Amino acid sequence: METKKIDTNKNTLSAVVIVKDEEEKIPDCLESLSWTDEIVVIDNGSQDKTAEISEKMGAKVYYYKGGTFSDLRNEGIKKATGKWLLYVDADERVTPLLRKEIEKVIESDGSENTRVAYAIPRRNIILGKEMKHGGWWPDYVKRLFLKDVLVKWSGKLHEEPHFTGEMYHLKNAFIHLKHDNLEDMIAKTNGWSEIEARLLLESGHPTMVWWRFVRIMLTELWYRLIVLRGFLDGIEGVIYAFYQMWSRFITYAKLWEMQMLSQDIKSKQ
């Protein structure tokens, strides 16, 4: 796949991919984007061959070490040159049907009822199985924008786009290889929970006591497994519901630890 030159005389689409140590997943991701006019890869300090593979496959690779997810997505706005931007994660794949739907949007150039921002559903593959319950479908993510209307992204963890105009929804979905195995799930939770706990601490969350842990964990399990019917996805759905409960526990346990450390520091001042 060779690097393409943007034709400024037509409606163009730049795919923006944020990566860090994704050498196993990035080839299929980029292959699913080979039809776009430009692929911009923002590498957040990979130590493996992610950047090398991306360049060989024709992507324009830019390096941005550190920062939040929003910072990385904002860097994509700066580097991409297409009239439209499509944000895709390394563990996501654009299907042929989704491609056709996006191409139809691009051809309209935002003229159809000023539709310039779109959310795309995701088919989440977890532990090798597509999850249809437990809150994992349709799992819309805001990813396709006319570049001129996208102002910026904000948020340290769950980043949100700021744009002018209304948000519309596409019908066809990304394939999202969310979690391949338990080891991968646990590793990611350790990183995300640290950020989530810090945000809770900064928001002034009440001091964690034993009954709050019990309430939070049981509420999460009941919500995922029963209310959202996660059990209908079989053993994988049950395992993932318990994993979500455990993930919430880790976040609030880290919050408790941060609160104790903060109180200790204040008591010594």
**CB proximity list for 18: less than 8 A, separation 6 or greater:** 42, 44, 69, 72, 73, 76, 87, 89, 90
Residues of each domain in the chain carrying CATH 3.90.550.10: 13-178
pTM of the model: 0.91
Q: What is the pLDDT of residues 62-107, one digit of tens each?
A: 999 989 999 999 999 999 999 999 999 999 999 999 999 999 999 8
Q: What is the pLDDT of residues 111-164, one digit of tens each?
A: 555 789 999 999 999 999 999 999 999 999 999 999 999 999 999 888 999 999
Separation between Cα atoms, residue 42 and residue 50, nearest integer Å: 11
Separation between Cα atoms, residue 215 and residue 237, nearest integer Å: 21
The CATH homologous superfamily to which domain 13-178 belongs is Spore Coat Polysaccharide Biosynthesis Protein SpsA; Chain A (3.90.550.10)
CA angle at 73 for the pair 70 and 77, rounded to the nearest 5°: 130
Judge if the upstream peptide bond of residue 138 is cis by omega within 30 degrees of 0. yes
**CB proximity list for 113: less than 8 A, separation 6 or greater:** none
Q: Residue 160 in contact with residue 74, Cβ under 8 Å? A: no
